[in-house]
Each structure stands twice: as C-alpha cells, then as structure tokens.
Amino acid sequence: MRAYLLYTLICIFCNGCAVVTVADAAVTVVATTVKVGAAVVGTTVDVTTAGVKAVAGGSDKK
C-alpha cells in the first residue's frame, strides 16, 4: 500500500512540475513578444520623427 501511495504522489508532483514548466514557457513567450513589439513601436516613432524633421526642415541650430 505504501508503494502505491508513493507512486501516486510522485506522479502528482511530476504532473504539477510539467504544468509549471508549460506556464513558465508561455509567460516567457508573451514577455518576449511584448518586448519585440515595444522595440518595433519605438523604432517606428524614431523613424517618423526623423522623417517629419526632414520634411519640415526642423533642425535644432542655435
């Protein structure tokens, strides 16, 4: 009976670890996607700002 209980507990804990691992991987993918998206938005803003300055002739000369 003890062997059966021990085997059952091991299986339960192993499945729990698998769930945590999958959840951790999903969070990592989402965080990476957000990070890349923020970089793309930042680059787009920089390019747009440079284009507006070029067209408008805006330069900060003193």
Q: Is the pTM of this model over 0.85?
A: no
With beta carbons less than 8 A apart as the criterion, state whether 58 and 52 touch. Answer: yes
The amino acid at 37: G
The amino acid at 10: I
Tell me the per-residue pLDDT of 1-49, one tens digit each, with 9 for 90 and over.
677 777 776 666 666 666 667 777 888 888 888 888 888 888 888 888 8
Q: Which of 20, 38, 19, 42 is closest to 30 using CA atoms?
A: 38
d(CA 49, CA 56): 10
Residue whose pair of structure tokens reads 């059966």 in the numeric block: 4
